[in-house]
Chain A
């Protein structure tokens, strides 16, 4: 399939990127060549084949619903944020 400028902008939107026109143009060509490459899977006959999503040999791995000792507390985690106020993370206006 052909990747158009609108497609790049749509994908940038889904990906939460604010791309410059120059970046978007470069990405358009890159994405086009990658999609061309991965499209070769079309050649493969996958009729009646079940998909595989994980290669771990177990499923339904449970643990008790209890709080385990943690290596970091609230203050440690808040200290990682660029801006905080009154023990909360500060961000620019939402609306």
Chain B
């Protein structure tokens, strides 16, 4: 990461990034450019450097923020109409940690509204173009962030991943994209989509930068009680758990838990020079683009040549993960998005004769069609008469998927798969067919259901010049070794 110092000023770094952002304006990457705010911060950092004061590990590094991270700079809209005009008085914990290290936000990036989508076409602001081909989608939902890094506007971007929203756009644009273990980075101040799968992560050009960002952003946050103790910076060591206690089935009871409970911080030691890499044979079929299959095969040959072992895995339950995901996640969406009613913040529909009409009109005008589909499906699977057949069934399927991963990781250290079945598709190709858009996520959602980490690694270009990425998957809390292994592969 290129940080500011005595010879290269933060102001120079920020000005360069802003210039590039404007040069690529026709890709529609940004929902907001933070020119004044960014330059002001840059000058403050330069003044510190000049005085010889201590600056952070990201001093003067420009970055971009997915539009669902709350900060007072620019409106936080999650690229949705219903949040237009929302100037957050609150800063997300993840943003605060980055800025405490001196990083400077130069803009907010476009996304599918509320992160509902896999192409960034469901944005109120219109679609973002792919970095390799303007006629194609950026992927999504964190499309703007991925393209900003791919086009070298900034060295890193934030993203959120509920079912592939970091890994798939990273793959479509040829950059690294990481979805950590569930609970690694605080979600305080990030617009909620599905609380049991939402994760914060990053886009970078190198695994080294990813490692640095993870070491800054990881850790427990008193404002988000679903954060794990900082295992990332303490790999291999047991951690004292100051908040809560590890789930122990024999001891499920209420009341305050002893503060000395222990969660093992790191994962089992992996020999990164000779690792066992699992390949899921259930994913190797005609539904996957031949160039992606070719890239996977080539990577496996390379791994074997470098002393790693390839282990073939059969994971037949994974094919049900997408159906389970599109039950569980809409259910959580219906619940989380019930808060948007036009009363306290954001857009409000005018001319409603009474309060009930104000809610209904605001939600009707404020949500995108895909938001409505998901909310309605969520209310369907949760409604009496259908709960057992859909929601409960999906929750049981989730257990089987988790068990399947556990079994797989008893035979291998990491798993390598495609990120999605196809390369970046044409703008408009899938946007009117929700199920074909959902199928984009078939290889990314199982990780979110299991809460395990996945890293997209760029592996080259197709004949047409489109980016190809592969997904490196590890067991829970193996994040550090996963990124270390990616360094070996780079």
Contact = CB atoms under 8 A, between A and B. Distances in A.
Interface stretch (B131-139, B209-217, B396-404): B396-404
B363 A15 contact: yes
Contacts of B252: 59
Interface stretch (B26-34, B243-251, B269-277): B243-251
B52 interface: no
Given A15-B334, A30-B434, A52 B228 contact: no
Interface in A66-82: 68, 71-72, 76-77, 80-82
Given A11-B376, A14-B383, A58 B182 contact: no
Interface string A25-62: 01100110111011111111010011111111111111
A50 B232 CA distance: 30
A5 interface: no
A38 B244 contact: no
Interface string B355-391: 1011111011001010011011101110100000010
A17 B244 CA distance: 39
Given A56-B451, A63-B243, A18 B402 contact: no
B326 A38 contact: yes
B394 A41 contact: yes
A50 B396 contact: yes
A17 B372 contact: yes
Among B89, B245, B257, B451, the one with the most A-chain Cβ atoms within 10 Å of its Cβ is B89
Nearest to B477: A57
B196 A53 contact: yes
A58 B228 contact: yes
Interface stretch (B113-121, B339-347, B406-414): B339-347
Contacts of A77: 89, 344
A88 B254 CA distance: 38
B200 interface: no
A1 to B, nearest CB: 9
Contacts of A56: 182-183, 226, 228, 451
A41 B401 CA distance: 12
A15 B379 contact: yes
A46 B396 CA distance: 6
Interface string B301-332: 00000000000000001001011101100000
A16 interface: yes
B380 A35 contact: yes
A55 B182 contact: yes
A37 B196 CA distance: 22
B229 to A, nearest CB: 9
B320 A62 contact: no
A93 B377 contact: no
Interface string B449-472: 111000000000000000000000
A58 B244 contact: yes
A19 B183 contact: no
Contacts of B425: none
A6 to B, nearest CB: 13
Nearest to A61: B244
A31 B380 contact: yes
A40 B476 CA distance: 28
A70 to B, nearest CB: 9
A16 B358 contact: no
Nearest to B476: A57
B355 A17 contact: no
B263 interface: yes
15 contacts: A14-B376, A15-B379, A17-B376, A18-B364, A19-B364, A34-B438, A38-B326, A49-B399, A51-B396, A51-B398, A55-B196, A68-B222, A71-B89, A71-B91, A77-B344
Given A15-B376, A34-B435, A39-B323, 18 more contacts: A11-B376, A17-B367, A19-B364, A30-B373, A31-B373, A34-B326, A35-B380, A37-B326, A38-B394, A41-B327, A41-B397, A54-B196, A56-B228, A58-B247, A60-B244, A60-B253, A60-B257, A93-B354
